[in-house]
Amino acid sequence: MFAVLSPRFRSIENVQNMVDAAAVLAVVTCGITFVLLMGSIDLSAAGVMGASALTVSLLVANNRNDNDLGLLGIGVAVLLGCAFGCLSGLALVLLKVPSFMATLGVSAVGLGVATLMFAGVQPNISDAMLKGWAIERFLGLSYLTWIAATCVLVGWLLQRYTRLGRYAFAIGGAEEVLALSGVRVKPYKVAVFAVAGAFYGLAGVMVTSQLGAGLVQAGSGYDFSAITAAVVGGTLLTGGRGGVLHSAVGVLLVVVLTNGLVQIGVSPYWQGGVEGLIVVAAVAAAVIPQRRRNQVVK
């Protein structure tokens, strides 16, 4: 549809552009998908990404200190994300706080940690490799896009071929059965949140590479966008259905939508509204075929 309305939309350049723009969202969505599969929800992306963005920008070559850890710094940032995920998971299984609140709390903690590290001066990165991620291209797509594609692949492998992924799926399907079968569910829940956290951590690093600086707000808006993308892709909020590939499709849909709206020149005021409408419509369309009278919808 957008292709008709705007010839530019079809251009190869724009396709590249759209795929590139989808990179970060794809990584975040990958992570959130695992949590959604369990039937939980994760709102911690914004905070975790902020914290990891600041961490990485302070650990690789930058204008604030003499660190130059390169890949190691990136690893630390991803691990930090992982640790935040663990925190959410532990709050869920040990304190029995619903994931909605636990992750909201962790998000606030993440933003706080990020603000602490920010300390009033923006850390700009000068690490050539990290900056290069956003600029260098391979087969026409930026490295970041390839990283995102790898993440989707890794996510799919995790989901299909590992116990963690299959159990995340099963927890969403029938958690009580796992317990009856002698599976200790709690460690897997924590692990799933940790994996999701690692994805957010990486996403934070990617945003830093794109912006060339560590921003506390690196992840703002990504939490709801990722949930939207996952849901549009067909991953249910109730858990047990969907998956990483579904979500990847959802991400592309959302990005095409945003890009298309700009391309056909929809007024910026209306853009958010049209996006909202289309998300609702997409889900409604997906629901119609399986609509039955007595189905429970929450």
Partner 1 sequence: MPLIALLALVVALAIADPGFLTQRSLTAVARTAAPLIVLAAAATLIVLCGGIDLSIAAVASLSTVLLALWLPHLGGLATPAVILAAASIGAVQGVAHVLLRIPSFIVTLGGMSILSAIALVVSGAGTVRVVDDSTVKWLELYVGGYVPMSFVMALVVVALIALMLKLTPLRSWISATGYSESAARLAGTPVDLVKIGAFVVSGAGAGFAAIMLVSRQFSGGPTMADNLLLPAVAAIVVGGTAITGGHGSVWRSLAGALVVTLLRVGLPIVGVPSAYEQILYGVVIVIAVTLTLDWSKVSIIK
Partner 2 sequence: MSVPASTPALEVRGLVKHYPGVKALDGVDLVVRQHEVLGLVGENGAGKSTLLKALVGLVVPDAGEIRVRGEAVKLRSVVDAADHGIGMVFQEQSLVPNLTAAENILLGGEGPGVRRGVYRWDAMRRLAQEQLDKIGSNIDPLVRTDALSFADRQMVEIAKVLRIEQRSQHPPVIVLDEPTSVLESKEIETLFAQIRRLREFASVVFVSHRLDEVLEVCDRVAVLRNGQSVGEVAAAGAVPRELHRMMIGSTGSDDHYHENAAAVVESGQPRLAVRGLSGTSFQDVNLDVAAGEIVAIVGVHGSGREDVCRALFGAEPVTAGEIWMDGKKIDISGTRAACAAGIGYVPAERKTEGMVGPMSVAENMTLAKQRARCAGPFVAPGKQATVVDRWIDRLSIRTPGRDTPIQRLSGGNQQKVVLARWLVGGDIRLLLLDHPTRGLDIGARSEVYRLMRELAASGVATVLLADSLEEAIGMADRILVMNDGRVVSEVGCPAGGKPSPLDLVKEMV
Partner 3 sequence: MKITTRPTVILLSLSLAAALTGCSEQAAGGGDSAAAGGCKPADVKLVGQVRNESNPYEASWLTGGDEFAKTVGLTQQRLTYGGDSTKQQEQISQLLAGDTTCLVMNVLPNGDSDTAAIVKGADTAGAYLVTQWNKPADLKPADYKTWISHITYNGVESGRQIGDALATAIGGQGGIIALQGVLDTAAAKDRFAGLQESLKKNPGVELLDQQTANFSRAEARTVTQTLLTKHGDKVKGIWTANDDMALGALEALQQAGRAGQVAVVGIDAVPDAVKAVQDGSMTATVSSDGTWQGGIGLAIGFCVATGKLAVKDLPAANRAFFAEQFLVTKENAADFAQPKTNPSDFECGNVFKRVAGALT
Which residues contact partner 1 by CB under 8 A?
A: 38-41, 47, 91-92, 95-102, 104-113, 115-116, 175-176, 224, 227-228, 231, 237, 239, 269-277, 279-280, 283-284, 287, 291, 294-298
Q: Which of residues 152-211 bind partner 3 (CB under 8 A)?
A: 207, 210-211
Structure tokens at 7: 């010839």
**Residue 98: CB minimum distance to partner 2, A:** 17
Structure tokens at 221: 């808006």
Q: How far is CA 206 from CA 54, 78, 153, 259, in A?
A: 12, 11, 17, 20
58 binds, among partner 2, partner 1, partner 3, none (CB under 5 to 8 A by kind): none
Binding track over 126-155 against partner 3, x by CB under 8 A: --------xx------x-------------
- Residue 36's nearest CA partner among 244, 275, 268, 206 is 244
How far apart are the C-alpha atoms of 267 and 253, rounded to whole Å? 20
Element (H, E) at 137: strand 137-138
**Residue 137: CB minimum distance to partner 1, A:** 33
98 binds, among partner 1, partner 2, partner 3, none (CB under 5 to 8 A by kind): partner 1
How far apart are the C-alpha atoms of 76 and 214, rounded to whole Å? 15
Q: At 214, is the secondary structure helix, strand, or coil?
A: coil
How far apart are the C-alpha atoms of 228 and 282, rounded to whole Å? 10
> Which amino acid belongs to residue 53?
A
**Residue 258: CB minimum distance to partner 3, A:** 8
Compare residues 65 and 162 and give the one whose CB is closer to partner 3: 65
**Residue 40: CB minimum distance to partner 1, A:** 5
- Residue 9's nearest CA partner among 292, 277, 265 is 265
Say how many C-beta atoms besides its own lie within 10 A of residue 25's C-beta: 25
Interacting residues with partner 2 (CB under 8 A): 160-164, 166, 169-170, 172-174, 176-183, 240-241, 292-294
Interacting residues with partner 3 (CB under 8 A): 6, 8, 11, 13-14, 17, 20-21, 114-115, 118, 120-122, 124, 134-135, 142, 207, 210-213, 215-218, 220, 259, 262-263, 265, 268-269
